[in-house]
Amino acid sequence: MIAVRKPTAANLLRGLIFNIWMGGSALVVGAVCLPVLLVAPHLALTAVRVWCRSTLRALDVICGIRVELRGLHHLPQTGVLIAGKHLSMLDTVAPFAFLDCPTIVLKRELLRVPIYGWYARRSGMIPIDRDGAARTLRGLIKDVRQRFDEGRQVLIFPEGTRVQPGAAPDYKPGIAALYRELDVACVPLATNSGLHWPAHGMARYPGTVVFEVLEPIPAGLKRPVFMRELEARIEAATLALLEADADHAAATATVPIPS
């Protein structure tokens, strides 16, 4: 596992200020755009996109964390199934800055969160009951197919939850069922986000978060082959980003000896 950084007082203070800003801005945007949910629900995604992009700007200004996007040429225009590494809450914010019309598969419990849940429902996110087994999978396939018909890109996290950078992978079979039933290519997405915005805790660490879109896995592969290929691509690319980030942090932390 990649070594966990020890937070400094500055990391914690920046994280606290950013969290206050993020929560406050969500309340403001949510309240100002509330009429959208009532009279023009199709515009809810626009409100979500505005908030997400402002959050990325605040993340840079307050915490010194920039977001870099790579490999966007790998994204097909329509009918896109994206399987992403999930290391941070940032993974659910940044896609609204580089995808035209994203839909994120999320756990149903999040719909109960005030404001967040209202906008998630109205903007076409796909909630799933992780204990629903076959019934949940059938509903997921139906919902994803509908989003494809609407010309949207669907992002799912195959491990189902956030994990620590460098932790052993645990890919769930739901992504294989979607890949098979929808008969579409699957685009892997790697990131190092957890090194700068950890899954847990208040600290935020300056630097560059990279989201790297990888070459699509073509449709039609057998399930075991697809799962091996998906995991291998995402894990290799993610590890490379994590190691490059760690090497850069170590180099910049070195204090030269005066001559």
Mean pLDDT value across residues 110-116: 83
In a domain, 220, yes or no: yes
pLDDT digits (tens, 9 = 90+) for 47-76: 899 999 999 999 999 999 999 999 999 988
pTM: 0.89
pLDDT for 235 equals 97
Asked whether residue 50 is domain-assigned, the answer is yes
Residue 82's DSSP bridge partners are: 155, 187
Q: Judge whether 3 lies within some domain.
A: no
| 5 falls within a domain | no
Instruction: Tell me the pLDDT tens digit for each residue of 231-246.
Output: 999 999 999 999 998 7
Which parts of the chain are beta strand (E)? 65-70, 80-84, 102-107, 126-128, 153-156, 186-191, 207-213
* pLDDT value of position 192: 97
Q: Is residue 180 part of a domain?
A: yes
User: Which 8-state DSSP code applies to residue 168?
Assistant: P
User: Parallel, antiparallel, or unpaired for β 186-191 and 207-213?
Assistant: antiparallel
CATH number at 119 reads 3.40.1130
Note the pLDDT tens digit of each residue in 175-197: 999 999 999 999 999 999 999 99
The pLDDT assigned to 123 comes to: 87
> Based on the structure, what is the number of domains in the chain?
1
Let me know: does 49 contact 23? Beta carbons within 8 Å: no
What's the angle, vertex CA 243, arms to CA 237 and CA 249, rounded to 5? Answer: 135
Contact between 84 and 191 under an 8 Å Cβ cutoff? The reply is yes
What is the structure's pLDDT at 255?
A: 40
Asked, for residue 258, whether it belongs to a domain, the answer is: no
Please give the share of the chain, as a percent, with pLDDT higher than 70.
92
Q: What is the mean pLDDT of the chain?
A: 88
pLDDT tens-place string over residues 194-219: 999 999 999 999 999 999 999 999 99
Contact 37, 122 (CB under 8 A): yes
Which residues span the domain enclosing 133? 10-251
| Banded pLDDT at 88 (limits 50, 70, 90) | very high
Map tokens 């490059």 to a residue: 244
Q: 230: buried, middle or exposed (CB in 10 Å: 19+, 13-18, 0-12)?
A: buried
Let me know how long the chain is.
Answer: 259
- Phi, psi at 151, each rounded to 5°: 80, 25
Residues paired with residue 128 on neighbouring β-strands, in sequence order: 107
- The predicted model gives 101-105 an average pLDDT of 92
Residue 1 lies in a domain: no
At residue 256, the pLDDT reads 44
In a domain, 256, yes or no: no
Q: What is the pLDDT of residue 30?
A: 86
Given this model, what pLDDT does residue 109 score? 87
Token pair 């010194």 is found at: 64
β-pairing verdict for 102-107 and 65-70: unpaired
